[in-house]
Structure 1
């Protein structure tokens, strides 16, 4: 019987096929298919996590709060409590920062976009009814921007590391500076 299979295969130009070679070929194909599926899922997972972390605002979304100080033009300094909310959607972020002491309060709103390391957008301070534009640079949760309006300019530095964030503002008006430390 085995001789007939060999001779038929020789006439047809094919190798004789045994059951053991069919089984091992099946397992070899199954291993290659499994390897390809695992490689595909690992590649897809790596691509999705690098995309999620590639946003300039990665890790900033949510509500933050913490203490700070504000310095006024007369040199006086007050402790303040602050609360920030960041809504991140890809390269865009909306921010709300409210800080208050017994005698001082400010409400800062901003909408910014980050592209290629450049940050642009608009801001407003609602308790004083003033607003303008924001321009600067930043990525990976670290930003250096200038907020400007008619008769007002403020340098703002913001750095996010894990669940900690520091904000430093320096201005040329009655509000001279603020230093804020927030936690998530």
Structure 2
């Protein structure tokens, strides 16, 4: 092969690291977004952790190429205000979501996530197990989040790449506004509740990523 046409090793490494950070931020957003399912049906009993097994398709799209982002319809009525004293109350169970990551000088990439959530009786403490996959890679996140008087704080750990960090923010009238920081990651996140679905948007700083949008629902 012509050496002039081959990509330098550092370029491939940069692309892989870019997707790794994007997936990490995506999965953290997923955990915060689904906590705002104020219109969801009554949540089932919390499942046991060792029952959480997921098979991934490495980010391949469904046969029709559609995603939840593309299928999302405008809300028929305005969302109800968020209960700041127990924002995680409707969360226990399994959730799924998909979205697209925008990359500078590149094409958007589809990402899919599945998660299991465990919440205390008061609805203000959340423990989450999250797995996400795209064509560019996979991540597995475990985190603990606490909500007190409208403020959200927590820690996260990524098991596959041995990354960790903190998150902090606030419960807003329509969802969450969160800042996530850690090993190589700096981003702001907004979560908006739209009836029985959630819209999640992320803004990356000092990154080759443009941003991310996610639509998720209980599944």
Match of residue 81, structure 1, among 85, 89, 112: 112
2: CA distance, partners of 1:107 / 1:175: 20
Distance 1:109 1:76, change over 3 A: farther
Gaps in structure 2 of 5+ consecutive residues: 1-82
1: CA distance, partners of 2:202 / 2:102: 10
Residue of structure 2 equivalent to 1:177: 211
- Root-mean-square deviation (CA, aligned residues, Å) is 2.6
State the TM-score, normalized to the length of structure 2.
0.52
Q: After TM superposition, list the pairs within 5 Å mapping 1:122-141 onto structure 2.
A: 122-138=155-171
Alignment check: 8 A CA contact 1:85 1:95 kept: yes
Q: Work out whether 1:116 is the aligned partner of 2:158.
A: no
Q: Which has the larger radius of gyration?
A: 1
State the secondary structure of the residue aligned to 1:123: strand
2: CA distance, partners of 1:122 / 1:80: 23
2: CA distance, partners of 1:130 / 1:95: 16
1: CA distance, partners of 2:185 / 2:155: 14
Q: More helix by proportion, 1 or 2? A: 1
Q: Work out whether 1:67 is the aligned partner of 2:98.
A: yes
Residue of structure 1 equivalent to 2:77: none
Residue of structure 1 equivalent to 2:131: 98
Q: 1:136 Cα shift?
A: 0.3
Distance 1:73 1:129, change over 3 A: farther
Gaps in structure 1 of 5+ consecutive residues: 1-51
Distance 1:100 1:150, change over 3 A: closer
Greater RCO, 1 or 2 (C-alpha within 8 Å, sep 6+): 2
Alignment check: 8 A CA contact 1:56 1:141 kept: no
1:97-120 per-position Cα deviation (integer Å, ceiling 9, x unaligned)? 322222333333321100011111
